[in-house]
Amino acid sequence: MTEADFLSGYDASAYEHPSVTVDLVLLGIREGRPAVLLQPREEEPFPGRWALPGGFVGIAESLDDAAQRVLHDKARLDDAHLEQLYTFGAVDRDPRTRVITVAWLALLDERAFAAALVANPALRPVAIQADWTGETGGPITALGPGGAAIDLAFDHGQILAMALLRLRGKIDYSDVGFALLPDLFTLRQLQDVHEAIGGTAFNKPAFRRRMLDRGWLAPTGLREQGTSFRPAELYRFQRAGRPNTRSLHPLIG
């Protein structure tokens, strides 16, 4: 039997087909804490709860294309540090039907985070404690006046906890933290990112010496503008031994 003969008689309806979605963890640093962009749900299931931006994967759409589409449609962004995080497939994770979701991590610098909020008013910034484990009632609060605690839909608490766990595991020895910084940044900004993700304070001289010794920082000869104190020097990220162009280390490897 040829492949064409086999396919012509193949009955795809003989097997059940679960639905597949992608969910995006749009993560940045706000007010010295990890923060994500969520959407309050207005419809069933879980009305009144908050959810990650996401969508169903089209039958002729790759996972990468679906993630890029959701990034564009929900955050109005065409470019971000976007990569696959983990696949969540608990049988009862979605009460509508059998749904498997592939979570993606999108790291946003301050400008991209703010731009997404302006472009899509449905998104809300939500702060998360760096050591949050995703348990019900965990320290997750809406940013802004009041800072009320919120409830999450589906298993999105587990997804957020996984995203933070991965970042904490990589931030100290990989260059992933640079995705949360602008192209030009100060050593103070770099330390702020590491402290926000790690949930701990670092000794300033020791931290700066460690970062400089890794060969990732290229001085630009420029200094920050508009400060009321002595302006700090601006640096650019570079891979050790490579030209001074911005590059991002894969988070999952």
What is the predicted pLDDT for the residue at 156? 93
CA dist 8 and 6 (Å) reads 6
Helix (H, G, I), strand (E, B) or coil at 67: helix
Residue type, 139: P
CA dist 141 and 138 (Å) reads 9
What is the predicted pLDDT for the residue at 212? 94
CA dist 215 and 124 (Å) reads 37
Residue 14 banded pLDDT, cuts 50, 70, 90: very high
Average pLDDT for the chain: 89
38-49, pLDDT tens digit by residue?
999 999 999 999
Global confidence as pTM: 0.88
Residue 219 Cα distances to 33, 82, 151, 231, 245, angstroms: 27, 27, 44, 14, 12
Tokens linked to 108: 């946003």
Radius of gyration over alpha carbons of the chain, in Å? Answer: 21
CA dist 176 and 167 (Å) reads 8
What is the predicted pLDDT for the residue at 240? 65
DSSP for 131-148, written as a single string = T----TT-SEEESSTT--
204-230, pLDDT tens digit by residue?
999 999 999 999 999 999 999 988 788
